[in-house]
Structure 1
């Protein structure tokens, strides 16, 4: 007879590790296109207006935001595994559409599907890991989850840039995405187990019923901790969306080649991913608030360094500082949601938070595109730096400490 389920990393190590691997594959689906798509826009499709070039990031952000909400709602209602599998079914056509795209509209359509893949799959792996570990190791669990995803973004961006330098912008770099999607579908279909039953271990007494409208209101504006997390998450992903569209063109305009651009684009998520191995654990010991406030302030400084620099050492320093700032913020924000949301409505709370957070991609694309078209690429980065500084001040004023063991 199988042993009864228990909360914690150690008793659930096998399933937790499998979910970490699957989330790495989710991140890799983004990484396959970070270095290449802005260059495809200019060199293959001959696009010149930045707003239209960055439309694929905006489409991705809207699609991912909407599917985040659906992931939370459906995983609470029907279970986590079916939602995770559906997310990967949406992911499978993405690299194929990019490889065969005859026009930029196909690229935008592919990124709508990529947003569905990311929203359903990443949100669900977050919820499943929170289910498995319980409250004591929540920050560590989120750090491991996000580290896997963003390390995969980084390594795949670097690999895709190297492949593109050797074999061209299409189709070779996107074969990575085909392999990731097929492997993920096999792992989810045959090896992942449902985790919704672990909710009863954390909260054996029935929790008061919460309406979807009430949860949306809390996470959007009403609850100081939940709404502050949404604002900070949106600002963080605005910076990520900006980096996705603006950075490759900024560096290419300075005369860098594909290998150098790939390295700089990869450095940001590399530091972000590695840093989360520590920052999630740190948030379990010093609290969530110091990491969120400090991380947003550091991102503002990093963007200022990137906008001011004109040579490789400055860009390296800026991208690494930006990655460290994101590493401080990301797992701490997810832990805030896990701290405050009751297990019975956790999936929906995570989903609504990730709606607002991932609309940051769209905001970054709009801010970057409009500002770059009117004032230039450097001005777009300066604008993001100023916005990040304002958000740091806002969360410093409004975000309370949510760690259950800290005042």
Structure 2
């Protein structure tokens, strides 16, 4: 299915080349999804400290808890909604929810308004990012699934990095509000227009692939499953799906640490807003660009070993942040963290796509992303509590240890999901 396979379902063709125009458009839309998140990465932790005078780490990280919890729950329902109503309506709804977010970040008079903006941002990210993932999987078919996820995640996180750096530079010249968040307003308007006018429905591609799909040898993976059964299978029963779910949770747990604690640690050591912006951008930039290679690589050598290696590399990088006190050391740690995350992120999604039957794949992606993005809330609560009780360095060491343990759990418990491997 590399160059495109025509299926009996209304002449629909699967494959990257056959669907290149729509695939490219969805890459662009997902870049705007990442940009909406990037507008906060540098500025919001500093806004909590300098504008709203939040001294406790736990209080300052409430916006990440709100974002992560909301996004996780929305991810779960996004898959079900995509199966029931189609992909495009869910995508458009996600962008409608995004429109008030920059307005609230600019003019919110109290911290509660900022937290509410992140509830809306979590809904936006859960609906739009989940849907672009599902739509790309629909279009490319099984042969290039890892490559497709690499492009999807790369576009989002490169845009996140570019926006984090841009907002840091903007804030250093024009202040923390309102100028940095005007980028988010432009992103939301552009994405809503593209999603409404140019994006096409892809649900029929999934149905066409299901018609060609061989009968599963494992009865647990049969196409006729309830949402409850899919949730149990993805979370607990299937060793590959459950291993991917826990690894995804821990991955975003350490991303919450990078988002919420790292900028405050860097500021405490005297770094300027602009240099904090560079560090905040460096990690997702390496992560984003790296996925262009790692997604393709997982199609060649399989998923399991890349996931294991990536989690262990992340653990080393986080430990390096804990030991460092200077910009060059932290820059090296951010690069290493980006490499580790690039190995993990698209590969986990590809593994879910490998195992899940096309008839319930969207819901399996939703369950996986429920666990993965729940890691934001867990990470913010854990890191904030440990930082308040024992200091930020202890919180960073604890997350490094958890990340290493997750890598070993994948090595011991996950089976290889890719047929070529």
Question: TM-score, length-normalised on structure 2?
Answer: 0.95
Distance in 2 (CA, whole Å) between partners of 1:243 and 1:368 is: 10
In 1, are the aligned partners of 2:223 and 2:360 still within 8 Å (CA)? no
Q: What is the number of residues matched between the two proteins?
A: 404
1:233-244 correspondence to structure 2 within 5 Å: 233-244=248-259
- Show CA shifts across 1:340-382 (max 9, x none): 0000101100000000000000011011100110111111111
1:89 aligns with: 96
1:336 to 351, 358, 367: 351
Q: Does 1:39 align with 2:46?
A: yes
1:154 aligns with: 161
2:296 to 281, 286, 290: 281
1:132 aligns with: 139
2:242 aligns with: 227
Q: Does 1:347 align with 2:362?
A: yes
2:115 aligns with: 108
2:178 aligns with: 171
Q: Does 1:180 align with 2:187?
A: yes
Task: Please report how far the alpha carbon of residue 255 of structure 1 lies from its aligned counterpart in structure 2 after TM superposition.
Answer: 0.1
Distance in 2 (CA, whole Å) between partners of 1:81 and 1:130 is: 14
Query: After TM superposition, where is structure 1 displaced by more than 6 Å over at least 4 residues in a row?
Result: none
Distance in 1 (CA, whole Å) between partners of 2:256 and 2:125 is: 14
1:360 aligns with: 375
Distance in 1 (CA, whole Å) between partners of 2:285 and 2:206 is: 33
Distance in 2 (CA, whole Å) between partners of 1:9 and 1:133 is: 5
Task: Please report how far the alpha carbon of residue 404 of structure 1 lies from its aligned counterpart in structure 2 after TM superposition.
Answer: 2.0
Task: Please report how far the alpha carbon of residue 166 of structure 1 lies from its aligned counterpart in structure 2 after TM superposition.
Answer: 0.8
* Structure 1: 5+ residue stretches without partners: none
* Structure 2: 5+ residue stretches without partners: 1-9, 214-221
2:71 to 51, 64, 72: 64
Task: Please report how far the alpha carbon of residue 313 of structure 1 lies from its aligned counterpart in structure 2 after TM superposition.
Answer: 1.3
Distance in 2 (CA, whole Å) between partners of 1:368 and 1:87 is: 29
SS in 1 for 2:15: coil
Question: TM-score, length-normalised on structure 1?
Answer: 0.98
Q: Does 1:405 align with 2:411?
A: no
Task: Please report how far the alpha carbon of residue 205 of structure 1 lies from its aligned counterpart in structure 2 after TM superposition.
Answer: 5.9
In 1, are the aligned partners of 2:223 and 2:357 still within 8 Å (CA)? no
Distance in 2 (CA, whole Å) between partners of 1:309 and 1:49 is: 23
SS in 1 for 2:360: helix
